[in-house]
Amino acid sequence: MTSLLQPYSFGSETFITPWTDPVLPSPLLSLVADGVTEGYEWVGDFPTCWRERPFLDAGEGLFVAWAKEQDGGIPLGMACLSADPHVADPDTGRLRYIYIHPNGRNRRLAERLLQACLARARPRWRRLRLHTVNPLAARLYERYGFRPITGEARATHALDLGRR
């Protein structure tokens, strides 16, 4: 039985859905392996992090972008939202493990995953932080209101959600 609930439909080619099962499906693990092969070593930390503490609390989540089912239900991208493990502030969340497979790029999947994460984040977090070294990703985040920051541990951008 799958744990895919309430797909976010963004056109006929792909859909985005939250994953709520503590057990990760093998196609998602293959996506992670592809990311590592492509040189994004950090995405390889995701399965261990998920096993230690799945992002299933309020305001958290794993969102997966899938090719439509007739194409085999192949995961093309992922994004996670969790409490920020690098700060003591309980009202700060973190966008993490955002990865799009080369076959999913130029389909606005990163933007769609970001939108799903922000929708989940707004009721829970006062502030979101993230780290990126990718200039294209930085521009996307900045279009959504994230601002470059300096002097904060393990973060390059932050967004004030205005809550509290």
Residue 63: name the closest of 110, 13, 116 by CA.
116
Task: Answer whether residue 2 is part of any domain.
Answer: no
For 119-150, give one letter per residue: b (16+ CB within 10 A) or e. ebbeebbebbbbebeeeebbebbeeeebeeee
- The count of structural domains within the chain is 1
Asked whether the predicted pLDDT for residue 124 surpasses 70, the reply is yes
Task: Answer whether residue 1 is part of any domain.
Answer: no
**How far is 55 from 158, CA to CA, in rounded Å?**
20
Structure confidence at residue 15 (pLDDT): 86
Task: Answer whether residue 61 is part of any domain.
Answer: yes
pLDDT confidence bin for 164, thresholds 50/70/90: low
Q: How far is CA 63 from CA 29, 58, 87, 151, in A?
A: 14, 14, 23, 29
Structure confidence at residue 3 (pLDDT): 31
Task: Answer whether residue 50 is part of any domain.
Answer: yes
Task: Answer whether residue 3 is part of any domain.
Answer: no
Task: Answer whether residue 129 is part of any domain.
Answer: yes
Instruction: Kindly state the tokens that stand for 96.
Output: 């993490």
Task: Answer whether residue 64 is part of any domain.
Answer: yes
- Domain CATH code at residue 78: 3.40.630.30
How are beta strands 92-100 and 127-130 bridged, if at all? parallel
pTM (predicted TM-score)? 0.88
Asked whether the predicted pLDDT for residue 53 surpasses 60, the reply is yes
> What range defines the domain where residue 48 resides?
8-160
Structure confidence at residue 132 (pLDDT): 96
